[in-house]
Structure 1
Amino acid sequence: MLANPPAPSSVTVSRVITDRYLLGTRLRLRRAELSDGRRELKLTQKVPVPQPGAVQGLITNTYLSPAEYDVLASLPAGVLSKTRFSIPPLGVDVFDGHLQGLVLAEAEFTTDEEAQSFTPPAECVAEVTDDARFTGGHLVRTSRQELRSWLAEYGIHAEGS
């Protein structure tokens, strides 16, 4: 977790993301508007690995046409919106709405060994890799008050109600 969004000069690509967590499933429908004008539509399933630490779970992505996206977007879902800034190897998510002010950084690696040898940047104010509350599937159901309480556990005091 970072205290602030990244400096614009460090960002290689940005995208505005709307995630729809389909109720009653482990599926996420994503619309990403990239800074270069492209749009990415996909359906994702993430299955966590029951192992602590920075080990990636199983992820399946299906890329969708606009018509396919629209059909799935009609299903009941919890919605999160954020802007993701790419600063390799990090993707930094700056959340909107009731999660405004939350800034999470996630590193992506090719191997588990790379992930395990990663040292978080100095701007990291809390390590939440093993805290399932900070996954999208949990955050989408989180109130502002719950988020403030969780952040306080890490010594971080969020603004607003």
Structure 2
Amino acid sequence: MMDKAGGVEGQSVHPGKYSRVERERRFLLASPPNPSIVTVTRVITDRYVNGTRLRLRRADFADGRCELKLTQKVPVLLSGAIQGLITNTYLSPAEYDVLASLPATMLSKTRFSVPPLGVDVFDGRLQGLVLGEAEFTTDEEVQAFVPPAECVAEVTDDARFAGGCLVQASRQELLGWLAKYGIRPQT
């Protein structure tokens, strides 16, 4: 049985040989980044496989490259930058096609690399949502991080802004969440 955070009830989380601890902080931004400061752009389509903790991702880069991967995220029910454990498996196009046949809920966005953030500008019913993420390898890096001035609010501990929740959000829910942070996207 799945718990509210997408984890399996009663299951403990232990880093292992194939997974790593995911440390990230998330921030709302009022607008997309200025194109002049973007270092890499990619269009991402995420397929959250129904009834699982699995995400199938296709990332199409501006230079024509395509990255395909299967990710498992095992969340922890703690506040702060440690999100849980993450395992990535890179796929061939044939492997991706097989897994893409599974029932899933989709989410699409464009990711702009603007160091130190990856900035996601969402499409479809999530249009107007601009989320910045910073990833870290150590707890010390997390503590030392100072968010850029364009960050409106930190939403690291607001589970509504995690991909697994966003993929299920309606347009009206999103607009309500953003309004609580003083963000009113054009509709």
Alpha-carbon distance between aligned partners in 2 of 1:80 and 1:64, rounded to the nearest angstrom: 19
Residues 39-75 of structure 1 deviation map (CA, whole Å, 9 limit, x = unaligned): 0000001112322112242110000110110011011
1:31 aligned onto 2:58:
yes
CA RMSD of aligned residues (A): 1.0
Length, aligned pairs only:
160
Q: Which residue of 2 aligns with 1:68?
A: 95
1:130 aligned onto 2:133:
no
How far does residue 3 in structure 1 lie from its aligned partner after superposition? 0.5
Q: Which residue of 1 aligns with 2:121?
A: 94
Which ranges in structure 2 are unaligned for 5 or more consecutive residues?
Answer: 1-27
Comparing 147-156 and 75-84, the one that deviates more: 147-156
How far does residue 18 in structure 1 lie from its aligned partner after superposition? 0.2
Alpha-carbon distance between aligned partners in 1 of 2:139 and 2:90, rounded to the nearest angstrom: 25
Higher RCO (CA 8 Å, separation ≥ 6 residues): 2
How far does residue 119 in structure 1 lie from its aligned partner after superposition? 1.2
Alpha-carbon distance between aligned partners in 2 of 1:96 and 1:156, rounded to the nearest angstrom: 17
Structure having the higher strand fraction is: 2
Q: Which residue of 2 aligns with 1:16?
A: 43
Comparing 45-54 and 31-40, the one that deviates more: 45-54
Q: Which residue of 1 aligns with 2:34?
A: 7
Q: Which letter does structure 1 place at the counterpart of 2:74?
A: V
Q: Which letter does structure 1 place at the counterpart of 2:35?
A: P
Aligned counterpart for 1:83 among listed residues 110, 114, 117: 110
**Percent same amino acid at aligned positions?**
79
Alpha-carbon distance between aligned partners in 1 of 2:140 and 2:79, rounded to the nearest angstrom: 14
Q: Are the equivalent residues in 2 in contact too, given 1:54–1:116 (CA < 8 A)? A: no
Residues 109-135 of structure 1 deviation map (CA, whole Å, 9 limit, x = unaligned): 221210122111111111111001001
Q: Which letter does structure 2 place at the counterpart of 1:60?
A: T
Q: Which residue of 2 aligns with 1:52?
A: 79
Which ranges in structure 1 are unaligned for 5 or more consecutive residues?
Answer: none
